[in-house]
Chains A and B, each alone.
Chain A
Amino acid sequence: MQYLPNTFFVIALISGLSFFVMNIRKIFRNINLGKSIDRTDNKSERWKNMIKIALGQSKMVRRPFSGFLHIVVYLGFVIINIEVLEIIIDGILGTHRIFQGFIGAGFYAFLIGTFEILAAFVFIAVILFWTRRNIANIKRFLSSEMKGWPKMDGNIILYFEMVLMTLFLVMNATDTPFQNAGIGNPVSQFIAPLFDGFSLEALHVIERTAWWIHILGILVFLNYLFYSKHLHILLAFPNTFFANLNVKGQFNNLESVTKEVKLMMDPDADPYAAPLEGEEEEVPEKFGASDVLDLNKMQLLNAYTCTECGRCTSACPANLTGKKLSPRKIMMDTRDRLEEVGRNIDTNGGVFKDDGKQLLNDYISPEELWACTSCNACVEECPINIDPLSIIIDMRRYLVMEESAAPQELNAMMSNIENNGAPWQYNQQDRLNWVNEE
């Protein structure tokens, strides 16, 4: 019976971690459904970006208030995790505050004291976040794509954090020897009086309960990530590492198109030529994207990384002027569809069975896609370098090149370019007339 708690702890820990790993593998599998894209060049620049943007939060603080609150929660999260390490070791070995013996009472008190202060700050920051989401009428939290589950998801994460921080402080406040020592308890000493008059026995039970719920809560939260928008705490790192390093104005040139255009412009090419012997007749590649499988791996990683903060949408000229387009919704739709495709693969024994649905129309409408001005405000705004614009452009490419479904006026513009080398209907022979007019 003596080892019952340890055994239970190890079982909980292992199942929590395995379930998490299983789900993470599913995410990797889904991301790998995307097309390959080489983002391994210029490693030093990539490390720099990751350290600056993900680790250093440099883009978060462009909006000072939410940026500051985020840094508080982020630092709290990272630093308090040192304490989780101790909790795990204690849980496995059945010890109590094992680090204390190793690092000395003074330094230990300093560490726990720091954690307590951070926990209190995190608690306050999370309350403010909750207020911003639910009371402050901030436009980007009220958009139509934030109704229902996304809104609840955001709140659940905040409740999790409130509860975990409270449990951590309660656990310290009811740890009688710890309180009696009187150091390392800058916050919990003010919570301890709430338990005045409790017997030592009762205090111990409360302390143990808080300790257990706290660590089990962390394991549950870890697994909740997979179902929530909160994966950014992990994926922000690869996402910033693999982000596009070119200037934002540069759009990729589709190689499949280059091949065809070169063939068309080559006077020696024989359009009816049979494929060379031994050369497989290629299935022509689809131009652009109508579903998640047409997107590249980084675009899919972007979708899982998005935490739906909506800074992109709040800077989007189309959205600001009441159009349907919301770059955040583009990312949310991409993820929702990708998860649907993933579930489809799971239930069909590892292969995707056509479900008659796709990202285009079933999730993202042409009206949204055509409202984009390609201004890159969304890409610039994203605190972790997500690129909604590239998805919009790939879907436009599908609409135009596979479906010939551009708006009428754009078709006119394009046939003008084809016929007279300008988006308007002017004669190319008049191109130099401006010189002599005044």
Chain B
Amino acid sequence: MMAQGKQPEVLFWVGAAGSYDDRAKKISRAFVKILHEANVDFAVLGTEESSTGDAAKRAGNEFLFQMQAMMNIEVLNGYEVKKIVTCDPHSFNTFKNEYPSLGGKYEVFHHTQFIQNLISEGRLKIDESALQGKRVTFHDPCYLGRGNDVYESPRDLIRRLGVNLTEMKRNKKTALCCGAGGAQMFKDAEAGDKEVNILRTEDALETKPDIIATGCPYCNTMMTDGIKFKEKEAEVVVKDIAELIAEANNL
């Protein structure tokens, strides 16, 4: 595209989970279907994409984070990227808040915000009949909610699905972490009496949901594992909001 002198409307930052993790790849594909449906002219970096360095930064490795950041910024600026959308709140947060002072200034969207914009611009409609009546509870990803005060975009999309949105006792500002953040995803937990994702899954199950909706591939993994642990796979599914929309619109 660059070779033809054209600029895509937006860069879809897939992220490591969205690229490699079997569960998260489905989210990436669902989101791409939505982008196609709305005729969004987008690009991905493909093999030129690399880790944002978020996990390294939260683990305390500021060196590795800044190396990754500066390499990514070189690539992104080389392609004159202006707008980035991602399904990963961690990438979203890092791009939006931590890259600017290192020379990477972009307009950054979480995919729920981006889809919300597509709807308000009249480029996308959500079919509210397909999932009607389902009980859905939304698990706030820490880096979307508390981290960036984005609580409404995902909820707005869920309501547009025509489903019955029920909140967990800990929601929005008081939402409980899924247990993956701060690089916990990549290590075993310290000794304790419970795994964080089990506690959060219990929060979710209290709402008697048909669907636990998330907006983060890592939360998705943790909640999916929690549901398996509780042996509730037959009754409850964990889905990203992008997947729910793709499903509702039969994409």
- The answer to whether A and B belong to the same complex is yes
Asked if A250 and B97 sit within 8 Å, CB to CB, the answer is yes
Across-interface contacts of A261 in B (CB, < 8 A): 63, 66-67, 70
CB contact under 8 A between A424 and B20, given known A257-B63, A317-B179: yes
CB contact under 8 A between A317 and B55, given known A423-B16, A432-B44, A434-B19: no
Asked if A249 and B182 sit within 8 Å, CB to CB, the answer is no
Binds A, one of B121-129, B184-192, B225-233, B241-249: B184-192
Q: Interface size (B, Cβ < 8 Å)? A: 69
Asked if A322 and B193 sit within 8 Å, CB to CB, the answer is yes
Q: Interface size (A, Cβ < 8 Å)? A: 70
Across-interface contacts of B192 in A (CB, < 8 A): 318, 321-323, 371
Report the bound CA distance from A192 to B136 in whole Å.
Answer: 62
Distance of A346 from chain B, by nearest CB (Å) = 33
Mark out the residues of chain B between 150 and 198 whose CB falls within 8 Å of any chain A CB in the assembled complex: 173-174, 176-177, 179-196, 198
Across-interface contacts of B187 in A (CB, < 8 A): 370, 407, 409-410, 413
Asked if B194 and A414 sit within 8 Å, CB to CB, the answer is no
Report the bound CA distance from A309 to B120 in whole Å.
Answer: 44
Report the bound CA distance from A410 to B187 in whole Å.
Answer: 6
Across-interface contacts of A262 in B (CB, < 8 A): 70
The reply to whether the CB of A268 lies closer than 8 angstroms to some CB of chain B is no
Asked if A373 and B49 sit within 8 Å, CB to CB, the answer is no
Asked if A422 and B20 sit within 8 Å, CB to CB, the answer is yes
Contact of B174 (CB < 8 Å), options: A315, A398, A429, A431: A315
The reply to whether the CB of B58 lies closer than 8 angstroms to some CB of chain A is yes
Across-interface contacts of A373 in B (CB, < 8 A): 142, 177, 179-182, 184, 196
Question: Helix, strand, loop or mixed for chain A's interface?
Answer: helix
Report the bound CA distance from A313 to B187 in whole Å.
Answer: 22
Contact of B25 (CB < 8 Å), options: A320, A324, A410, A434: A434
The reply to whether the CB of B50 lies closer than 8 angstroms to some CB of chain A is yes
Asked if B182 and A374 sit within 8 Å, CB to CB, the answer is yes
Binds B, one of A86-94, A142-150, A375-383: A375-383
Asked if A423 and B55 sit within 8 Å, CB to CB, the answer is yes
CB contact under 8 A between A251 and B59, given known A246-B97, A317-B196: no
Interface residues of A (CB under 8 A from B): 246-251, 253-254, 257-258, 260-262, 264-265, 287-288, 315, 317-318, 320-325, 367, 370-377, 379-381, 393, 395-401, 406-407, 409-410, 412-414, 417-418, 421-424, 426, 428-435, 437-438
Between A and B, 12 residue pairs with Cβ closer than 8 Å are A249-B146, A253-B101, A315-B174, A318-B190, A322-B191, A373-B196, A395-B60, A401-B60, A406-B60, A417-B53, A417-B55, A426-B19
